[in-house]
Amino acid sequence: MIRERLLSPYQHGASVLHRLPTGFKLGAALALILLIVLLPRNAWGMHGALAAGLAVIAIASRASIRQLLLRLLLVEPLVIGVALLALLRPDGGVLFVSMITKSTLCLASMILLTATTRFSDILDVLRRLRVPALLITSLALTHRFMFVLVEEMQRMLRARRSRTFTDNRAVTWNGSAQVAGRLFVRASERAERVYLAMCARGWEH
């Protein structure tokens, strides 16, 4: 699970979809998702048409369909988990199916967007939309360092595994907590170095 999530969603390419301006793509994806959410629950024909449209766009983007589907499969359980609440209603069956259909269509739109758009480009659009600078800075830093920290965490986990000879729940919990705690200490030390590097390059608060 970790390994698949680690893959950055962006797939490099030069299709029409890759070359469209990011602002347009972001707006179109938002409009599409809004349309899907607003559609009546039982508009199955429209849902089918949208699914077919998304499939055509996916093929036109020349992204790896296998990877797109893998991403969809990774987030789908979370959708079904929330949808289970609808089954508590007496007439929940149809609602359950329609909510899952709608969410899956929205997920597919977002996955297509992130597969053909760099996150840094999306950040640029957000910056132009006047999202507060502090939020943009922390988004950019998080995007830059999340993979670094996940790799660091995996190295720590590997080191711990190779030194752990008895394995039970208490050991795992304690070990994972040690890794998390140490990871935070290392992250805060890294933040100091990042700050110095940012200042050296003329960053102004």
Letters for 130-169 (x = contact with other proteins by CB under 8 A, - = none) are --x-xx-xxxxxxxxxx-xxx-xx---------------x
Classify the C-alpha dihedral 183-189-193-196 as positive or negative.
Answer: positive
For residue 44, which of 101, 104, 103, 107 has the smallest C-alpha distance? 101
CB 61 within 8 A of CB 25: no
Residue span binding other proteins (CB under 8 A) among the ranges 12-20, 25-33, 50-58, 59-67: 25-33
Side-chain half-sphere exposure of 3, counting CA atoms within 13 A: 0
- Residue 35 binds other proteins, judged by CB under 8 A: no
Nearer to other proteins, 17 or 107 (CB): 107
Nearer to other proteins, 60 or 195 (CB): 195
- Residue 14 binds other proteins, judged by CB under 8 A: no
Nearer to other proteins, 10 or 13 (CB): 10
Nearer to other proteins, 44 or 184 (CB): 184
Nearer to other proteins, 46 or 150 (CB): 150
Selected from 70, 78, 94, 129, the binder of other proteins by CB under 8 A is: 78
What is the length of the chain?
Answer: 205
Extract the tokens encoding 14: 């030069």
Q: How many residues bind other proteins, per CB under 8 A?
A: 73
CB 13 within 8 A of CB 65: no
- Residue 2 binds other proteins, judged by CB under 8 A: yes
Selected from 28, 30, 59, 73, the binder of other proteins by CB under 8 A is: 30
- Residue 176 binds other proteins, judged by CB under 8 A: yes
Nearer to other proteins, 52 or 146 (CB): 146
- Residue 59 binds other proteins, judged by CB under 8 A: no
Selected from 102, 127, 158, 162, the binder of other proteins by CB under 8 A is: 102
Q: How far apart are the first and last CA of the chain?
A: 38
